[in-house]
Amino acid sequence: MVIASDGKSRLAYIDWMRGLACLLMFQTHCYDSWLTPAARQSRFFMYSQLGGTFPAPLFLFLAGISFALVTEKLWQKNVPPAQIARTTIVRGGEIYIYGLLFRVQEYVVSWGWAPKSDLLRVDVLNTIGLSMMLMGIVCWLVLALQAGYARPDTPGRLPPHSSFLVNLFSGRTALVLSGIGTALLISLSTPLVWTTWRPLWLPWPLESYVDGVHNVGVPQSGIFPVFPWTAFAFAGLAVGFLLQSQWARTQERRAFFSMGLAGSLLIEFARWLDRQPRQFYAVYDYWHTSPSFFLIRVGMLLVILSASYAWCRWGAALKGFSPVILLGQASLLVYWVHIEFVYGRVSILPKHSMGIGGASVGLLIISLAMLVLAWVRTKMKGQRLNFVAWLRPSPARS
């Protein structure tokens, strides 16, 4: 979203989508933790958990878009590819360490009944960090190749008459194609990696990062391994670079609505693909490893992206106080904290003991509490920035 005359942020749609992911995450975790076994058999619970399939793809998809925006900014400043890679990979490493610290916190809070294997559980924060490091490597390779082909003294560079290849491997197009290609490669490899290509020779803590096996012996649906989850980040990477193109900047509305249309077509294509009587894979698991289900979710993410843009530009998202955007701006903090009050020892309601009504009240309390936490965090961050600005010497004080 281009910065408007009223000064509204062009990244509002990203924060709004992160806030939406937080709300979906709250309802998924609250109902999963607090509902009784009987309530968990209801259609209501089924749909609540179906909504829970969106937060992780949303967070990873938005991580890819944000990664592209940062990389684009450094690239336009003529920062060398190696330095861009170092900056982005280090940031990915920080997120990965946050994921490890989160697992340590969970283990300490659950001391006495949590198994030690939980320390090595692959959570979504770990996968976001790994995705950022992998995207840093891919972007470094593409940008380094572009820099090499741009130098006339580079051996083996493309000949001058190869205009198509020059356009393909230069500029933003190569970054977009690398994101799309890597996302498809990861998705298409997932059914094989989870079955016939399983790296059984790896210790389970390492194998779990590949196929989510944990220490159970078979891949688990509640784990977030590289296959297939990092594919959502690379899809976001491609979208992020596409949004920085000259066409998207000058035809902003058309670009976002085109993405929504492309998402709708991708959903229908994936549904058609799933209905085909002959399948390529010997083991076909639609809900966990199927490329068709991956394409459907990417299509839905594109539709949500288009709707978020419209809501932030013409809706009420930027008119006054926006709780969804506020949650999105503090998504990492509220993710970290709400887990303890839902699943942890300090859960505000007894686990697996509430009906739908009682759990819904708890969900409302958690949502409001996390909104207050996000507001406090935003205020404290603003005060810290103001204090730092005051400490800097200015002509008036020098």
Any idea which residue has 């991708």 for tokens?
266
Q: State whether 226 and 150 are in the same domain.
A: yes
- Give the end of a domain, one of 283, 316, 349: 316
8 Å CB contact between 311 and 20? no
Residues 143/167, Cβ–Cβ less than 8 Å: no
Residue 170 located in a structural domain: yes
Q: Any idea what the Cα angle at residue 90 is, between residues 25 and 86, rounded to 5°?
A: 135
Name residues whose C-beta falls within 8 Å of residue 231's C-beta, 6 or more positions apart in sequence: 182, 183, 184, 186, 187, 190, 294
Looking at the structure, do residues 13 and 136 belong to the same domain, yes or no? no
Q: Could you list the pLDDT tens digit for every one of the 398 residues in the chain?
A: 333 333 344 578 899 999 999 999 999 999 999 999 999 999 999 888 888 888 999 999 999 999 999 999 998 888 899 999 999 999 999 999 999 998 888 888 777 777 888 889 999 999 999 999 999 999 999 988 877 655 544 444 444 444 444 455 556 888 999 999 999 999 999 999 999 899 999 999 999 999 999 888 888 888 899 999 999 999 999 999 999 888 888 888 899 999 999 999 999 999 998 888 887 888 888 888 899 999 999 999 999 999 999 888 887 766 767 889 999 999 989 998 998 899 887 888 999 999 999 999 999 999 999 999 999 988 777 555 444 344 445 444 44
- Same domain, yes or no, for 256 and 229? yes
Q: Please indicate, yes or no, whether residues 293 and 278 belong to a single structural domain of this protein.
A: yes
The answer on 234 and 134 residing in a single domain is yes
Quick one: 276 and 253 in the same domain? yes
Token representation of residue 154: 């580079």
Picking from 297, 316, 335, the residue at the C-terminal end of a domain is 316
Residue 395, domain member (yes or no): no
Q: Distance between CA 101 and CA 123 in Å, rounded?
A: 11
Let me know whether 305 and 379 are in one domain: no
Question: 132 and 281 share a domain?
Answer: yes
The answer as to whether 171 is a domain residue is yes
Is residue 9 a part of any domain in this protein? Answer: yes
Asked whether 145 and 165 are in contact (CB, 8 A), the reply is: no
Does 230 share its domain with 253? yes
Give the C-alpha separation, 272 to 350, whole Å: 44
Residue 36 covered by a domain: yes
Asked if residue 396 belongs to a domain, the reply is: no
Domain boundary among 316, 342, 363: 316
Same domain, 136 and 244: yes
Answer for the pair 263, 298: CB distance below 8 angstroms, yes or no.
yes
CB contact set of 327 (below 8 Å; sequence gap of 6+): 18, 19, 22, 23, 334, 370, 371, 374
Q: Count other C-beta atoms under 10 Å from residue 265's C-beta.
A: 12
Alpha helix ranges (H) inside the chain: 12-34, 43-51, 55-76, 81-109, 124-150, 163-168, 171-193, 204-211, 226-243, 246-250, 252-274, 291-314, 323-329, 331-342, 356-391
Indicate whether 398 belongs to any domain: no
Same-domain pairing of 48 and 68: no
pLDDT of residue 126: 94
φ, ψ dihedrals at 397, nearest 5°: -105, -10
How far apart CA 212 and CA 222 sit, in angstroms, is 8
CA distance 160 to 149: 10
The residue segments making up the domain with residue 41 are: 1-52+320-390
Number of domains the chain is built from: 2
Does 397 fall in a domain?
Answer: no
Same domain for 243 and 107? Answer: yes
